[in-house]
Structure 1
Amino acid sequence: MEGLGNLVTTLGNRVSTNLRGSITDLTPEKFIRIVIIAGAYMLLRPYLIKLGGRAQMQSHEEESERAEAEARAKISPNELRGKVEIPDDTDEEDEATAEASGPDWGKKARRRQRDMIKKLLDAEEQRLRENQEELEDKDIEEFLVKE
């Protein structure tokens, strides 16, 4: 504990001695030089901060673009939902044209799957049509005069 106290007093003495010596040795040329340096710093500091912020923003945008590209490269099954293509009603499919990555379904299963997808899409289209009609009715009601 005593060593810490000695260290603090030594540092305090050195700082005060050096500061006093710097001020007593200050000539008009050195004073003008300090004023010029401090003034230039105060004038240029906002521009330097803006420049640094712009550079930081560009690097952040590049990093986010890189992260988005990596995220797009990894597609999860949830992202593929709703982007289904309805296959044609052809029951005669060649084994050579069948995709190797898909399940090997029978004709009835494929037909049931097509019908289910069509029903879902028709129901969604009907719901959208009804919503559109309701919106149109609301727009028309807005212009009707009530007496």
Structure 2
Amino acid sequence: MDVLWNILGVVRERFHNNVAAAVMNTPIEKWIKLVIIAGAYMLLRPYIIKLGGRAQMRSHEEEAAESEAAYQKAQISPNQLRGQVDIPEDSDDETEEGALASGADWGKKARRRQRDMIKKLLDAEERRLQETLEEEEDKDIEEFLIPS
């Protein structure tokens, strides 16, 4: 244990001597340069922090505007969606009298499968939109809940 205290004493003595020698042997020009750099840092730091805060606030506002725009774009009611997609009628006729056939002349089963597929896609999209709307409502409600 005595050896440990001797080592610590030597380290303390060498540290003290080295620091004192470095301070005493430093020319005045370097001290002036150090004081100018430290003073400039202390004077300019608050302004630099304010400038960074403004840039960060601007960035957050842009992100919020983009997410709000995406949210507004994503809000489509099922009635609006129904108006956008044309579902073929449940008729088994190839074409009506006087009307031209559009695209390939499909058979009866193919047309029925196509109608069913479009209806399933519309129902899935309506369910997804309803779930996202419910999640948004849940998030709005969570804001007002008091944690216990």
Which TM-score band applies after superposition, normalised by the shorter structure?
0.3 to 0.5
- With the length of structure 2 as denominator, give the TM-score of the two structures: 0.40
- With the length of structure 1 as denominator, give the TM-score of the two structures: 0.40
Identify which of structures 1 and 2 has the higher relative contact order when contacts are C-alpha pairs closer than 8 Å and 6+ apart. 2
